[in-house]
Structure 1
Amino acid sequence: MRHLPPLPHKSFLLNTPDIELWPAGLLRARSNADARTLSRAWRVLRRKHDGRYLAALLPEGMLPLVPRLSHESGIEAAWDALDRLDAVRGFAIDDAGQLPLDRLQERLHALDVPEEYGKRTGLPLVPEPAALAFAGLDRYRRPLWLTAGAARAWEAMRQTASADDVVLEAISGYRSHDYQLGIFERKLGRGQTVEQILTVNAAPGFSEHHSGNALDIGAPGEPPAEESFEATRAFAWLTRRAGQFGFAMSYPRDNPHGIVYEPWHWCYQPRMVQEIPD
């Protein structure tokens, strides 16, 4: 296995079922008050389902940003995550573990997603990581979050491609269960049925993006998530070299899951790292 460099940034995101704990410097201010708060905070609690900032951790203590913070769903789990962080020196992000799936399963049942969906598609339920590493910015200048291993492999692969005069752009990485649940709920609200939605969207919890190991990759000047990506030098390079860094294309043509061909979607599989030929 090739040597991988350190993570490109020391920041990481603590993840809980309802709340994310972000490094304040990676969040965008939405008002002048936000800007003043973020400039002094070291971490911010962010509600997952709508992105609302709930509290900021300042040098002098915690500043609530919503009324009745103590009544927020999942706030105790967020405090527990901070307590675990305070209890250790040098957070071991590789050993952070995964979040339980029971909350997701309850919401899938409430949405009437067929229980046989996983068996029908061959897709497993994918838990979210309990912590994610900052892996740079994506094409749209948004923070890119991946597992620590995937972040190191992505940086090594991107730098190696650049040395070969090939530019790899990250389009998106980790997505929460709430992100996919939001898509479903909005479409249901517009009158679509669950079966109609499942023809174009994976059921929440069944996307590799939830794992923090999957990346949608693009090339400069190319539209995101289009089959035309297969005609780029970036795709040709990935086809030859991505396996050396543990990345594989998840959904080739005629894949057994019935998912459309996605030449842009690559997933880090650490056990699949290939040796570099002499």
Structure 2
Amino acid sequence: MPRLPSLLLKSALLNTPDIEVWPADLLRARSNAHARLLSRASHVLRRKRDGAFLTAATADGLHPLMPTAAREPGSDAARHALAARPVHLRNGVEHVGVLPLHRLHERLDSLGLDADGYAARTGLDRVAEPGWLAFAGFDRYRRALWLRIDAARAWLRLRDAALRDGIVLEAISGYRSHDYQLGIFERKRAHGMTIDAILQVNAAPGFSEHHSGLALDLGAPGEPPAEESFEATPAFAWLQANAGTHGFAMSYPRDNPHGIVYEPWHWRFSPA
């Protein structure tokens, strides 16, 4: 089995329904007080809903980064995940596990959507989040890129194979939680988009392939992200010719049955 580079073996995102446990060295401090704690921390408990830092884990214990951290919903599950580490990234995907479809109906109700009706109308499956994800480097914006471990290995092979052929592939985004997907809808709705319009470009929370840690949005240097113009790039031509060899396929071609616009940038890894 191909091995991840040694740097990547050091980092995993430990996932729980409400809170993610991040390696502290992949996070930027948001205040001087946070900077001092993060410099000593191994991990940070981070709320999925808005990315707020809740608790820093150091050699001498847990330190709250906000006054209500101890009462935060899901804190017990996150602390349990932290106590149960380390994750052995050399393990196969059978050791990943998935989270329950936590609060799916609550999220969809807030958007005026019915889970069963949406699934029947679009043909999209409910998608659970992995129990942990592997660090697969950084995306175009220098954000940590998280993927399921088999997809992380496949992405690194795909990227390196393209580079050998003179093609630079940039990751735009990888794993996204249900809560993050809900935030996309809320932000777009705040800018005046209707739910129906958003659903043409984003799957509903709980139904996006990004939740699985198997999907990537890809781009090329100088190209705008998530635009149909990506289709005209050498990077896209290379993907069409070679991505299948590495287990990746484009999820949303033209006239796909899911009601989602053509997305030449969205590719999903399918385990053999």
Is the Cα–Cα contact under 8 Å of residues 6 and 152 in structure 1 kept in the other structure?
yes
SS of 2:17's equivalent? Answer: coil
Letter matched to residue 20 of structure 1? E
- Between 1:252-261 and 1:98-107, the stretch displaced more is 98-107
Distance 1:71 1:56 in 2: 15
Distance across 1 between alignment mates of 2:92 and 2:42: 18
Give the residue type in structure 1 aligned to 2:18.
D
- Secondary structure of the residue aligned to 1:45 is strand
Matched, 1:71 2:71: yes
Residues in 2 aligned to 1:184 and 1:218: alpha-carbon distance in whole angstroms: 22
Contact 1:93 1:133 in 2 (8 A): no
How far apart are residue 82 of structure 1 and its match?
Answer: 1.8
Name which of structure 1's ranges 31-40 and 14-23 shifts more when overlaid on structure 2: 31-40
Secondary structure in structure 1 of the residue aligned to 2:103: helix
- Counterpart of 1:12 in structure 2 is 12
CA contact (8 A) 2:34 2:65 kept: no
**Comparing 110-119 with 185-194, which one deviates more in the overlay?**
185-194
**3-state SS, counterpart of residue 203 of structure 1:** coil
Q: SS state of the match for residue 22, structure 2? A: strand
The verdict on how the C-alpha distance between 1:49 and 1:91 changes in structure 2, with shifts beyond 3 A counting, is farther
Aligned residues: 268
Distance in 2 (alpha carbons) for counterparts of 1:75 and 1:65: 13
1:105 aligns with 2:97: no
Whole-angstrom distance in 2 between the partners of 1:46 and 1:33: 16
Looking at structure 2, the residues matched to 188 and 247 of structure 1 have their Cα atoms a distance apart, in angstroms, of 32
Asked if structure 2 preserves the Cα contact closer than 8 Å seen for 1:250 and 1:266, the reply is yes
Distance 2:153 2:90 in 1: 16
CA distance in 1, matches of 2:145, 2:70: 30
1:49 is matched with 49
Q: How does 1:92-171 map to 2 (within 5 A)?
A: 92=91, 94=93, 95-114=95-114, 115-171=116-172
| Residue in 1 that maps onto 2:29 | 29
Secondary structure in structure 2 of the residue aligned to 1:54: strand
Q: 2:200 & 2:226 partners in 1: Cα distance? A: 17
Q: Does structure 2 retain, via aligned residues, the 8 Å contact 1:135–1:146?
A: yes
Would the alpha carbon gap of residues 157 and 44 (structure 1) be closer, same or farther in structure 2, given more than 3 Å must change? same
Residues 145 and 106 (structure 1 numbering): CA distance in 2 closer, same or farther, change over 3 Å?
Answer: same
- AA at the equivalent of 1:161: A
Q: Which moved further from structure 2: 122-131 or 196-205?
A: 196-205
- Per-residue deviation, 1:143: 0.5
Give the TM-score, by structure 2 length. Answer: 0.91
Aligned equivalent of 1:61: 61
1:241–1:197 Cα change, 3 Å: closer
Matches of 2:236 and 2:202, distance apart in 1: 24
* Change in 2 beyond 3 A, CA 1:239/1:256: same
Unaligned runs of at least 5 residues, structure 2: none
Q: Which moved more, 1:197-206 or 1:131-140?
A: 197-206
Q: What is the letter of the counterpart of residue 143 of structure 1?
A: A
Aligned position for 2:248: 247
- Write the distance in 2 (CA, Å) between the matches of 1:165 and 1:120: 42
Q: TM-score under structure 1 normalisation?
A: 0.89
Mapped contact 1:113–1:194 kept (Cα < 8 A): no
1:50-86 C-alpha deviation (Å, 9 max, x unpaired): 1111111111111111113221110111122123226
Per-residue deviation, residues 176-213 of structure 1 (Å, max 9, x unmatched): 11111123334556776644543443211111111111
- Take 2:174 and 2:72, find their aligned partners in 1: how far apart are those partners? 27
Task: Write the letter of the residue equivalent to 1:239.
Answer: Q
Unaligned runs of 5+ in 1: 272-278
Aligned residues: CA RMSD:
2.1
